[in-house]
């Protein structure tokens, strides 16, 4: 059984695309439609990697990423952000939350902007999961 | 000590008079003839002269004439003999102050001297008084000139245009500020032109109205209007004015003009830069939207490729559906763009607004239920069949209700039980009112400000950033109104009012 990848995105089409890329490359995908669902699965199943969207209802990717990185149990889970939002916008909102009294958190190691080529996503998956 | 000059050809008289006058406290000079007397007069300048009328050589009348020529304010008393009444009268005509008869009696002399003194005193007082008056007058004139100079400079250097008229509306003052605005020089206007030929009718009406009512406020509040300059240019100005009154009588008018050209230019620039910013946001918003659409196409074709490669019908089907959904999304965006940019005729036809509202609710119910959002309907039974454009109503309600559902989906208030209420009612003035109320996320100040002004979306990949703009445009084309109130964390209420026509059946 391959490594598990949690795909968090509110757009079912994006989830289908992401899970297909995972399957085609030998990983086991799990799906979540929003941040709240995603966090529950993260705690429950401890996947090896999360592919995370940013703008979602019921807890956005901005918040989920923050909770993930500040939780002792979850902070080592690798994260790929895949969003229509530009990287600098995401970083700006994280910076604002930090200034607002939040903890200092590391930048995401991989940030992909939609649209992404399936080959590119597959490559990134391989790189991050070390194969 | 008063100086007296005595002139007589008889040394005895001189001696006697001189003794008596010295005793009275005068400084006395004596001369035995007219010529000698005049010399002394020139040297000593006495204020009173007593002279005999009949003397050899230069007589008393000649002495009198010369003295009066030289110093008119000298008192000359003539001493006359018997039967000299004609000469005495002549002397009086020449300006003698008095005459006394020979032999000179002390009593008569002292009366004559007393009179002469009084005259001198009055004359000197009068002179002082006149001098004072002249000085005062000079000071007052100077002060007045200074003040009027100051005011003239004040008027001249004012940035505002100032035009003052007399009671017949003829210009008496037009300062450089006003000349600049109107393009007329002082020579063109002063004293000639009637302001009724120069000012816009609006300003004239105000001034005339003010002039007709002497009890009204004298100052007219500022208001904006356009004046036509000499070159025919229409210039935006702020106008104020007043009629000038004295004892309830109009004596003139004054008008003030502020040139608004620079302000208007800056306002225009501001609007332009805001428009540019809005275009920038549009482009950014569209790029975001198109990125998501591209992602959909890429994902779809990826799945189709896999399906073909592996002969996997499921993948093929999923991929094809994804492509179809993305095509639908593309068409949404294109249609939104089109309906936003195109004018469309409003087409009135008979319809039942409650049914349209119900259709919209049913259409969106499934999506709402997925997120545990309750849709509440509150339709007024008074609304039957009426005439309006059902497509506009459907499009507007669909947009607002799905926005309301999204506001609930996006709301962080996890404990809330979310609902969207759709209400219809008849309003006054032949209007129908629709309210869409949600208890979702509400809007902060920033979102409220941007709501209608730019292509703006809070929905990321799912919003075109055009929905609400299209809705507003359609409603305004239908001569309706759209307004909203929203509280962050509490929810939002949108109200649409549309005018309608009765159907023929009702």
- Best of A7, A21, A24, A115 to disrupt the B interface (most B CBs within 10 Å) is A115
- Residue A74's SS3 state is coil
Contacts of A54 in chain B (CB under 8 A): 460
What residue spans define the domains of chain B? 3-125, 132-259, 283-339, 349-502
Closest chain B CA to residue A17:
B299
B291 and A16 within 8 Å at the Cβ level: the answer is no
| pLDDT, average across residues B51-75 | 88
- Phi and psi angles of residue B181, each rounded to the nearest 5 degrees, phi first: -65, -45
Q: Which residue of A has its CA nearest to B412?
A: A58
Interface of chain A toward chain B, CB-CB under 8 angstroms: 11, 13-14, 16-17, 20-21, 24, 36, 54-55, 57-59, 84-85, 113-118
SS3 content of chain B, % helix, strand, coil (to 5): 50, 25, 25
What's chain A's length in residues? Answer: 131
* CATH (residue range B349-502): 3.30.565.10
Contacts of B292 in chain A (CB under 8 A): 11, 84, 114-115
Q: Is B217 exposed, middle or buried (0-12, 13-18, 19+ CB in 10 A)?
A: exposed
First to last CA, chain B: 122
Residue B205 near residue B223, CB atoms below 8 Å: no
Q: Closest residue of A to B293, CA-based? A: A115
Q: What is the pLDDT of residue B51?
A: 92
Going across the sheet that includes B481-487, the strands are: B374-378, B419-427, B431-438, B491-499, B481-487
Tokens of A76: 């080592």
Residue B252 CA, distance from chain mean position:
19
Q: How far apart are CA B440 and CA B407, in angstroms?
A: 5
CB contact B317 to A (< 8 Å): no
Q: Specify the higher pLDDT residue, B95 or B463.
A: B95
Q: Do A17 and B414 touch (CB under 8 A)?
A: no
At B292, phi and psi to the nearest 5?
-65, -40
Instruction: Report how far Cα B292 is from the mean position of its chain's Cα atoms.
Output: 55
By Cβ distance, the residue of B298, B325, B409 closest to A115 is: B298
CATH topology of domain A4-128: Rossmann fold (3.40.50)
Q: Which chain B residues contact residue A31 at CB under 8 A? A: none
Beta carbons of B315 and A20 less than 8 Å apart: yes
The sheet carrying B48-52 orders its strands as B27-31, B3-7, B48-52, B75-80, B98-101
What pLDDT score was predicted for residue B342?
67
Q: Spell out the residues 6+ positions from residue B328 whose beta carbon is closer than 8 angstroms to its own.
A: none
Q: What is the CA radius of gyration of chain A?
A: 14
Q: Which residues lie closer than 8 Å to B490 by C-beta, 6 or more apart?
A: B439, B442
CA–CA separation, B135 and B128 (whole Å): 10
pLDDT at position B506 is: 44
Task: For residue B460, name the pLDDT band (cuts at 50, 70, 90).
Answer: low
| Confidence band for A8, pLDDT divided at 50, 70 and 90 | very high
CB B285 within 8 Å of CB B465? yes
Express each pLDDT in B410-429 by its tens digit. Answer: 777 667 789 999 999 998 88
Provide the terminal-to-terminal Cα distance of chain A, rounded to the nearest Å: 15
Spell out the residues 6+ positions from residue A46 whose beta carbon is closer than 8 angstroms to its own. A73, A74, A77
Name the residue among B291, B326, B459 with its Cβ closest to that of A114: B291
For residue B465, name the pLDDT band (cuts at 50, 70, 90): low
Helix (H) or strand (E) holding B339: helix B313-341
- Site from B295, B459, B465 to mutate, A interface, most A CB atoms within 10 angstroms: B295
Helix axes B313-341, B467-477, angle to 10 degrees: 40
Relative orientation angle of helices A118-129 and B261-309, to the nearest 10 degrees? 80
User: How much is the ipTM here?
Assistant: 0.79
Q: H helices within B71-169, ranges in order?
A: 85-94, 106-157
Structure tokens at B202: 């609006």
Whether the Cβ atoms of residue B407 and residue B459 lie closer than 8 Å to each other: no
What DSSP line would sit under B233-254, residue for residue? -EEEEEEEEEEEEETTEEEEEE
Q: What is the pLDDT of residues B344-359, one digit of tens each?
A: 678 888 999 999 999 8
Fold annotation for B3-125 = Rossmann fold (3.40.50)
Nearest to A13 among B296, B371, B409 (CB): B296
Check CB contact under 8 Å for B299 and A14: yes
Mark yes or no for CB contact A16/B325 under 8 Å: no
Name chain B contacts of A36, Cβ cutoff 8 Å: 414
Q: Which residues of A touch B303 (CB under 8 A)?
A: 16-17, 20
Four-point Cα dihedral B260, B262, B266, B272, nearest 10:
90
The dotted CATH code for B132-259 is 3.30.450.20
Q: Which of A45-49, A61-65, B14-18, B454-458 has the highest mean pLDDT?
A: A45-49
Q: Give B409's contacts in chain A (Cβ within 8 Å).
A: 57-58
Interface of B with A in 19-48 (CB under 8 A): none
């Amino acid at each position: 059984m391959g490594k598990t990848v949690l795909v968090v995105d509110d757009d079912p089409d994006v989830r289908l695309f992401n899970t297909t890329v995972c399957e085609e490359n030998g990983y086991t995908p799990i799906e979540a439609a929003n941040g709240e669902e995603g966090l529950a699965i993260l705690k429950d199943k401890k996947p090896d990697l999360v592919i995370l969207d940013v703008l979602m209802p019921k807890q956005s990717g901005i918040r989920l990423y923050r909770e993930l990185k500040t939780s002792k149990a979850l902070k080592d889970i690798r994260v790929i952000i895949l969003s229509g939002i530009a990287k600098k916008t995401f970083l700006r909102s994280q910076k604002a939350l930090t200034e607002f009294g939040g903890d200092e958190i590391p930048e995401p190691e991989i940030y992909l902007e939609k649209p992404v080529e399936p080959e590119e996503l597959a490559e990134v998956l391989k790189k991050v999961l070390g194969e | 000590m008063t100086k007296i000059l005595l002139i007589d050809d008889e040394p005895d008289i001189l001696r006697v008079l001189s003794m008596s006058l010295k005793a009275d406290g005068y400084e006395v000079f004596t001369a035995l003839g007219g010529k000698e007397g005049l010399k002394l007069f020139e040297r000593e300048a006495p204020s009173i002269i007593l002279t005999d009328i009949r003397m050899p050589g230069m007589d008393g009348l000649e002495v009198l004439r010369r003295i009066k020529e030289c110093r008119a304010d000298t008192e000359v008393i003539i001493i006359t003999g018997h039967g000299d009444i004609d000469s005495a009268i002549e002397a009086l005509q020449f300006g003698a102050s008095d005459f006394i008869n020979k032999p000179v009696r002390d009593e008569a002399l002292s009366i004559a001297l007393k009179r002469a003194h009084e005259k001198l005193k009055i004359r000197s007082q009068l002179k002082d008084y006149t001098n004072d008056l002249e000085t005062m007058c000079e000071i007052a004139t100077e002060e007045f000139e200074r003040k009027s100079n100051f005011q003239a400079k004040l008027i001249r250097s004012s940035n505002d245009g100032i035009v003052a008229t007399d009671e017949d509306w003829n210009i008496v003052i037009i300062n450089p500020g006003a000349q600049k605005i109107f393009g007329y020089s002082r020579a063109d206007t002063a004293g000639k032109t009637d302001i009724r030929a120069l000012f816009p009718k609006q300003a004239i009406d105000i001034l005339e109205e003010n002039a007709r009512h002497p009890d009204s406020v004298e100052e007219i509040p500022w208001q904006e209007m356009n004046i036509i300059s000499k070159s025919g240019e229409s210039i935006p100005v702020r106008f104020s004015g007043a009629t000038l009154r004295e004892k309830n009588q109009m004596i003139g008018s004054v008008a003030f003009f502020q040139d608004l050209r620079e302000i208007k230019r800056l306002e225009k620039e501001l609007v332009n830069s805001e428009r540019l910013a809005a275009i920038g946001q549009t482009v950014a918003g569209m790029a975001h939207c198109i990125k998501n659409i591209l992602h959909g196409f890429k994902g779809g074709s990826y799945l189709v490729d896999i399906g073909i490669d592996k002969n996997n019908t499921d993948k093929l089907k999923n991929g094809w559906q994804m492509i179809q959904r993305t095509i639908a999304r593309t068409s949404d965006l294109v249609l939104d763009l089109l309906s936003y940019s195109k004018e469309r005729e409003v087409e009135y036809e008979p319809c039942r607004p409650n049914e349209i509202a119900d259709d919209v609710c049913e259409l969106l119910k499934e999506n709402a239920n997925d997120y545990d959002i309750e849709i509440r309907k509150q339709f007024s039974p008074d609304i039957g069949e009426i005439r309006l454009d059902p497509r506009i109503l459907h499009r507007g309600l669909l947009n607002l209700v799905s926005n309301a559902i999204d506001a609930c989906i996006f709301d962080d208030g996890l404990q809330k039980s979310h609902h969207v209420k759709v209400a219809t009612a008849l309003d006054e003035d032949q209007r129908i009112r629709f309210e869409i109320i949600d208890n979702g996320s509400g809007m902060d100040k920033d979102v409220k400000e941007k709501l209608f002004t730019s292509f703006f979306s809070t929905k990321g990949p799912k919003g075109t950033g055009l929905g609400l703009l299209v809705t507003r445009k359609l409603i305004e084309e239908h001569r309706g109104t759209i307004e909203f109130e929203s509280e962050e964390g509490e929810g939002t209420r949108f109200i649409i009012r549309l005018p309608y026509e009765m159907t023929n059946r009702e």
